[in-house]
Amino acid sequence: MSLRYAQTIPAFALLLLALIGILLLVLPTRELEKPPEYEYGIVLDAGSSHTSMYIYKWPADKQNGTGIVTQHDECDVKGPGISSYAGVPGGAAKSLEECLQKAVQSVPKARHSKTPLYLGATAGMRLLEKSDASESQRVLKEVGAKLKSYPFSFKGSAVLSGQEEGAYGWVTVNYLLENFAKYGFVGRWLNPGKGAIGALDLGGASTQITFQTDVKAESTDTSMSLTLYGQNYQLYTHSFLCYGQDQFLRRLLAHLIKTQGLSSGSVSHPCYPRNFTTSMILGKDVFSSSCTEEYKTKDIDLQKSVTLVGTGHPQNCLAAVQKLFSFDKCDFSKCSFDGIYQPAASGKFMAFSAFYFSSSYVNALTNISDPRRMKEASQRVCSMSITQMTAITKQPEKYMKNVCAIANFIQVLLTQGYGFNNSTLPMISFEKKAGGASVGWSLGYMLSLTSHLPKESVSVLKAIPSGPWSGLLIIFAALLLMALVQLVVVCRKARAKMELV
């Protein structure tokens, strides 16, 4: 081997080593390091009983058209839901100010103008829209004007359909549990997915059931298609208006008043603890909702108050709750209740929102957490006094008085309504959070909306690693420079020798 080639080999070896080192450092970093800049999004969840604000963020680089969204911050708006401000000009908008100011502080100032802001109203506003469309529009316009006054990119305030609320709740559950397949920045798998689970949501004015199905839908009103991470998901979803926790309790009261009458001035309530009494104003506490309209008779004085006397009777409570469902009419091959089509529910489910809180109260009172023993748990709760309940849970009477009714409602809804049985009930988990974040429709809403937001480019400089890795990158860059210099020197010496010859 000639001296010229012998001198060139170390230089090439050094050059190859430097190139390999730089590639090993830079390429994995593009996948493992978070881009330094995030995009942000704000969703106001305007529910029937309250409003919550959630701030989300995701890397500027999106994965397969859908941003990798995480919860950045949250805020609970003080006071009732925005639908409660019907007839109260300025009330709904003012209630949002404190949380919106928190958003101004939480989102980096440089990102304010690029941060989309949405308000989604659910069943409470759907009910108001149904009973007074003009007042519903006034409230939405009012809160829209308030949101526009903040330095974010306001995208609109809207009333979500029941289908949207159910589907986005399903997205949230499966996203937080990492059930969707996700890809890394250089095309590698971050998570191959685990298979989607169903979602059961119980709010104040409505309840939703959503699950993936291959069964051809017999009703378009219960079918929805979503595309996430390049995959299409066909869902069964339905929202039952007036079957939320608060509206169900109103309907139960209205049913008892209608069947017993008001001649004595008092009404027996089989779901209230024995000897527990309370008074309510008919027009304000019972018949102010369109959900109770069918129970209102012409002779009822809405200004009058009624005394409710608890009898704590498990069987009578269950019978009264069952009367609020209709299991007779069905024009399809299979129905849940009230004539609504539903294929058989199968696989795992997560039950959240009021499902979780109600089940946690029942579990605390009875130490029964097995869903297959829901009927037994309901009977135990209905036999307890209000004093026993408050002593065990340390919760006020206003919450405990309704535990028996809600326990029976959930039992009937899941077993007789949705068709869960002793084999499938254990597949339901009652949860408040998933993956450390709040469960509800807003994250799924934000996740879907990120597919439609502009994608910011990521510069080459963002691929350069930081911290201790940057030191190694500098060393390999120096080796590369040394190799190039050595090659130049060797080539010059070789050329000089050739000229001498």
**Token digits for 413?**
């809804």
C-beta separation of 190 from 183 below 8 A: yes
DSSP string computed for 329-397: --SSS-BSSTT-B-PPP-S-EEEEEHHHHHHHHHHHHH----GGGHHHHHHHHHTS-HHHHHHHH---H
For the beta carbon of residue 303, count every other beta carbon within 10 angstroms: 9
How many angstroms from the chain centroid is the CA of residue 146?
A: 24
Query: Do the strands 182-183 and 189-191 form a parallel or antiparallel pair, or are they unpaired?
Result: antiparallel
Q: Which amino acid is at 158?
A: A
Nearest CA to 69 out of 102, 98, 40 is that of 40
DSSP string computed for 210-269: EEE--SPPS-GGGEEEEEETTEEEEEEEEEEET-SHHHHHHHHHHHHHHHH-STTSEEEE
* All residues at 6 or more sequence positions from 298 whose CB lies less than 8 Å from its CB, including other chains: none
**Token digits for 317?**
């409570």
Active site residue 165: yes
| Among 142, 165, 178, 293, the one annotated catalytic | 165
Q: CA 479, 484, 489 angle in degrees (round to 5)?
A: 125
* Catalytic positions: 165
